[in-house]
Amino acid sequence: MSNQMFPNLFSSAKIGNLELKNRIMKAPQSTGMSNKDGTVSERLIRYYRSQAAGGSGMIIVEYAYVDDIGAKSAHCHLGISSNEHIPGLAWLAENIRESGSVPGIQIEHCGRQKFLGTQPICGPSAIPWPKLWNQYGVQAVPHVLTIEEIKDIVSAFGDAALRAKMAGYELVEIHGAHGYLLTNFFSPHTNHRADLYGGSLENRMRIYVEIVRDVRSKVGPDYPLTIRLSGTDYEPDGFPIEDTIELAKVLEKEGIDAFHISGGDHHTMIHQVSPMAIPQGHHIEATNAVKKAVSVPVIASGSITRPEMAEEIIASGKGDFVGLGRPLWADPEWAVKAEEGRPEDIRPCIRCNEGCLERTFYNYQAITCAVNPIISREGELDIKPATVKRNIAVVGGGPAGLEAARVLKLRGHDVVIYEKDTLGGQLIEAAAPEFKADIRGLTKSMITAVNKLNIKIIKKEATADELKGYDAVVCATGSTTVKLPLPGGDLPIAVDASDYLKGKKTVGHNVVMLGVGLVGSETALQLSEEGHAVTLVGRKPTIMKGVAVTDFLAYSERIAKTDMTICTSTTPLEVVEDGVMVEYKGKVRKIPADTVLYAFGAKAKQELYEELKAQGKEAHLVGDAVFPAKIMDAVHTGYRLGLKL
Ligand SMILES: Cc1cc2nc3c(=O)[nH]c(=O)nc-3n(C[C@H](O)[C@H](O)[C@H](O)COP(=O)(O)OP(=O)(O)OC[C@H]3O[C@@H](n4cnc5c(N)ncnc54)[C@H](O)[C@@H]3O)c2cc1C
Ligand SMILES: Cc1cc2nc3c(=O)[nH]c(=O)nc-3n(C[C@H](O)[C@H](O)[C@H](O)COP(=O)(O)O)c2cc1C
Ligand code: SF4
């Protein structure tokens, strides 16, 4: 029977001769969970079993390095460079199949983007990846590959593909995107060669053609073969979509069965792993452009967080499949829930990059997810029934309280939530700017989850007296903003940014924003984009402290397009009736304003907890009530406490 809600998404389709039950694929994503020698770990198996059980038609296993010379990019990176890797890879493929999906795998050479930072770092030209250059200086400069070395790498791809086939994978994807070796050749930004592999488009695509030929010759004519391409690398002197279209046409003739379209490289990361300030479905137009030029299927990927969008991509013919990366970390059951017609149960990825990208790419850890603490800890943090059923009050309906309540209820406890204001807590303010709209989906899904579990919501302020009858109390009371500690802070012109974001206060045209952290910087950006004249003022020498790396990069681009005035290393002294007095390098001046907004941080709200503890009551703190932090801390502490009680 066809699926009523998402009929196109849940229709079967083929890549080459391989028929998949639906159009959803797990996009390849490195997890940092292989063993140091590139072999498959038990942890990786547990993770992929969970991903495969989530209903996707295919799992494309994360990038695996093809040789032992310069292909390996990162710590605990999966390997396919030797026959020694085959037993583990076969074990993984079997697990994926047994869990209900079809195993595919991506093969890769990292080129100049070698997180490990160790030589040999290989490339077509001696142009280093800026991140590595900043870290390691000359050691980051790629060794310029000789023709002989290029031939060896070509052959390594073919050998790796054959190993994948021998290990039981039903599809191989060549990684030809994201600033790794193949794109280093394709992009004029990184290829300054004057030989057969540089210069003209034909020469820059030569290594792709040779790799596809070598792979085909080794895996046979009918084995499903895809390639991942960046529509463009977003480098000013890089490759445009027109070049990618030409490349796709050539590779189709060489026997590629489907094109998996993404974008960007690691230098232009916000176009590859887009934060919420970049519109969703970022590569759909590039996908559509490739689709029009080829006759084999095309896989759309990048920031497709909702099944409605995925359905629309397939229905409109802009893509034939969708490749989902982070959304299946936020909710591995994304596909099952969509298929069963309950998309509202999907916990959406908010594209914060704080649990995943930041941990692996910048901090050498295995992935986690801000909104899903289980990912990478499968089998360790499962929700199991409580041994003794208890009557538990959760005070506070922010993300920490909602998560704790959900887990406690699933474990069999009687749970109520007290919320004095609005369910969602600070998520409401956090999601106020349009460029943070992804957070609204999270708020909705968390509230839906507690409602579907019939958790009673008591809409009042909980007091210690009121809580006497409960066996235990979870204090998810959040934090309160710090009031403006300046003379004139109580004048009507001075407004807490939080009140403005909650819609409780309005602002005039000329706004001075005091505080250059996350809230101050984002609010200033929002107001500037809405047409207000904004001056952002802070004591610190830089702005945006506490903002995630990719948000920082996206905001920097957006701020550069506004008229915002930024005054760093500037001390606010006093709010006056028509502005604020500030001091910069010993000089005092007034910045005129209609409204002086302020965001000076927050303080954990622990009064209720202290009172309960003083009474000898069992009480626990979670989320901002422990220490004002972020959504990830709130969800993770709420979840973990939910497992304990
Ligand atoms: C403007 C802004 C932007 C932000 N942006 C981001 C971001 O981009 N990324 C990120 O990760 N984090 C962001 N944060 C931080 C994030 O929202 C918080 O860390 C998170 O909401 C904390 O969750 P919580 O559940 O612990 O507390 P809260 O969200 O503060 O929820 C606490 C709830 O408890 C209720 N409550 C308190 N006392 C009682 C009582 N006695 N009885 C009944 N109810 C009570 C409150 O009304 C509130 O609803 C932002 C915060 C703000 C203010
Ligand atoms: C931590 C991390 C690891 C990734 N590893 C790979 C990879 O191994 N191969 C690849 O082609 N893309 C990789 N990507 C990119 C994703 O496949 C995907 O294109 C990107 O996350 C955007 O899509 P999404 O919004 O569905 O996550 C990775 C992304 C992240 C965040
Ligand atoms: S950490 Fe953030 S960006 Fe990464 S998968 Fe989770 S919600 Fe998405």
- For residue range 52-88, list pLDDT tens digits in order: 999 999 999 999 999 999 999 999 999 999 999 999 9
* Cα(408)–Cα(391) distance, integer angstroms: 10
- For residue range 436-473, list pLDDT tens digits in order: 999 999 999 999 999 999 999 999 999 999 999 999 99
Residue 280 CA, ligand 3 centroid: distance in Å: 14
Q: Residue 628: pLDDT band by 50, 70, 90 thresholds? A: very high
Residue 282 burial by Cβ neighbours in a 10 Å radius (0-12, 13-18, 19+): buried
* Cα(333)–Cα(339) distance, integer angstroms: 10
The pLDDT of residue 362 is 81
Containing 643, the helix (H) or strand (E) segment is: helix 631-644
- For residue range 6-29, list pLDDT tens digits in order: 999 999 999 999 999 999 999 999
Q: Is the pLDDT of residue 527 over 70?
A: yes
The best mutation among 329, 360, 632 to test binding of ligand 3, ranked by most ligand atoms within 8 Å of the C-beta, falls on 329
Q: Residue 1: pLDDT band by 50, 70, 90 thresholds? A: low
- For residue range 379-390, list pLDDT tens digits in order: 999 999 999 999
* Cα(11)–Cα(53) distance, integer angstroms: 18
Q: Which atom of ligand 2 is nearest to the CA of 260?
A: 11
Mean pLDDT calculated for residue range 406-421: 98
Identified catalytic residue from 47, 48, 180, 234: 180
Q: Is the pLDDT of residue 2 over 90?
A: no
The best mutation among 24, 26, 29 to test binding of ligand 2, ranked by most ligand atoms within 8 Å of the C-beta, falls on 29
Strand partners, 176: 229
Rounded to two decimals, the pTM is: 0.97
Active site residue 470: no
Mean pLDDT calculated for residue range 344-361: 96
The pLDDT of residue 361 is 85
Q: Is the pLDDT of residue 368 over 80?
A: yes
The pLDDT of residue 6 is 98
Domains of the chain: 13-363 (3.20.20.70), 391-481+603-644 (3.40.50.720), 494-600 (3.50.50.60)
As given in the structure block, the two tokens for residue 280 are: 């969703």
Residue 348 CA, ligand 3 centroid: distance in Å: 9
Q: Is the pLDDT of residue 353 over 80?
A: yes
Q: Which atom of ligand 1 is nearest to the CA of 400?
A: 25
Mean pLDDT calculated for residue range 410-437: 97
* Cβ neighbours of residue 171 closer than 8 Å, sequence gap 6 or more: 15, 16, 18, 58, 60, 102, 103, 104, 105, 223, 224, 225, 226
Q: Which atom of ligand 2 is nearest to the CA of 326?
A: 27
Residue 120 CA, ligand 3 centroid: distance in Å: 32
- For residue range 110-133, list pLDDT tens digits in order: 999 999 999 999 999 999 999 999
As given in the structure block, the two tokens for residue 7 are: 């009929």
- For residue range 559-574, list pLDDT tens digits in order: 999 999 999 999 999 9
Q: Ligand 2 pocket: which residues have CB below 6 Å?
A: 27-30, 62-63, 106, 175, 177-178, 228, 262, 273, 301-303, 324-327, 356-357, 360, 367
Mean pLDDT calculated for residue range 38-57: 98
* Cβ neighbours of residue 621 closer than 8 Å, sequence gap 6 or more: 475, 604, 606, 609
Q: Is the pLDDT of residue 36 over 80?
A: yes
Is the N-terminal amide bond of 120 cis, ω within 30° of 0?
Answer: yes
- For residue range 252-311, list pLDDT tens digits in order: 999 999 999 999 999 999 999 999 999 999 999 999 999 999 999 999 999 999 999 999
